[in-house]
């Protein structure tokens, strides 16, 4: 278990090994979700990641369209 101290303004440094494992680079969007056990930090899937996987299921783009619609709804939230 790793511990970090909160900085002024609520800033927090995520340990390097965790940033690398989850590809948390500068500018990457994350979602904060409150649970009864604490706070989850969830990296959001980028458009590039979605597009790089187009066609691997052979669905003709139906899943991509659904994912992109979900992404638009997330941005509005």
Spell out the domain ranges in the chain.
Answer: 1-44, 46-77
What is the per-residue pLDDT for 39? Answer: 94
User: Could you tell me which CATH class the domain 1-44 is placed in?
Assistant: mainly beta
Which DSSP helix (H) or strand (E) runs through 76? helix 62-76
In order along its 77 residues, the chain shows pLDDT tens digits of: 788 999 999 999 999 999 999 889 998 889 999 999 999 999 988 878 777 877 777 777 787 788 889 988 888 87
How many other C-beta atoms lie within 10 A of the C-beta of residue 68?
14
Q: What letters, b where the CB count within 10 A reaches 16 and e where it falls short, cover 1-27?
A: eeeeeeeeeeeeeeeeeeeeeeebeee
């Amino acid at each position: 278990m790793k511990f970090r101290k909160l900085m002024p303004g609520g800033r927090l440094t995520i340990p390097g090994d965790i940033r690398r494992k989850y590809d948390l680079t500068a500018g990457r969007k994350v979602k904060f979700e409150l649970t009864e056990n604490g706070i989850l930090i969830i990296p959001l899937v980028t458009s590039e990641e979605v597009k790089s996987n187009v066609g691997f299921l052979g669905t003709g783009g139906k899943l991509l369209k659904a994912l992109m619609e979900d992404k638009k709804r997330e941005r509005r939230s």
